[in-house]
């Protein structure tokens, strides 16, 4: 019995090994994410905040109520994490909706 290093018997030769190291690290950096935050105030009705969270953030009534209570007690809560463009749109929609209803509700975004 001898060893033949050139023997391909039983091995795959599908021409896919180009003899170069394949790049595993993506060259395109992942886009940064942004937290959208809702702030507490003394005047916006609780039910309005719950409605905003259901309407613009796709939360269930129970999830929306829980986050509203967190904001009411702690002053602020993250309501979602999005790309820059989506976060900006959500903030703008919430601020416009609050203004239309003459509530001082504040919504902001910050880089994660
Ligand atoms: N603090 C408000 C109240 O007592 C309720 C409230 C909750 C307002 C969350 C804003 O983001 C908010 N009516």
> pLDDT of 83-105, one tens digit each?
999 999 999 999 999 999 999 99
**Burial state string for 87-97 with b = 16 or more CB within 10 A and e = fewer than 16:** beebbeebeeb
Condensed to tens digits (0 to 9), the pLDDT of residues 16-46 reads 544 566 667 778 999 999 999 999 999 999 9
Task: Supply the residue whose CA is at minimum distance from atom 12 of ligand 1.
Answer: 40
Q: Which residues contact 31 (CB under 8 A, 6 or more apart)?
A: 83, 84
Q: What is the pTM of this model?
A: 0.79
Distance 48 CA to ligand 1 centre (A): 9
Distance 55 CA to ligand 1 centre (A): 17
Indicate the top mutation candidate among 43, 72, 79 to test ligand 1's pocket, ranked by most ligand atoms within 8 A of CB: 72
């Amino acid at each position: 019995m001898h060893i033949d290093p050139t023997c391909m018997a039983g091995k795959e030769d599908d021409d896919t090994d180009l003899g170069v190291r394949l790049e595993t690290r993506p060259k395109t950096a992942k886009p940064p994410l942004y937290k959208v935050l809702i702030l507490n105030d003394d005047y916006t009705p609780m039910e309005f905040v719950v409605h905003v969270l259901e309407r613009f953030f796709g939360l269930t009534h129970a999830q929306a109520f829980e986050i509203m209570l967190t904001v009411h007690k702690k002053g602020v809560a993250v309501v979602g994490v999005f790309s820059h463009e989506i976060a900006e749109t959500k903030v703008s929609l919430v601020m416009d909706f609050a203004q239309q209803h003459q509530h001082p509700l504040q919504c902001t975004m910050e880089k994660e």
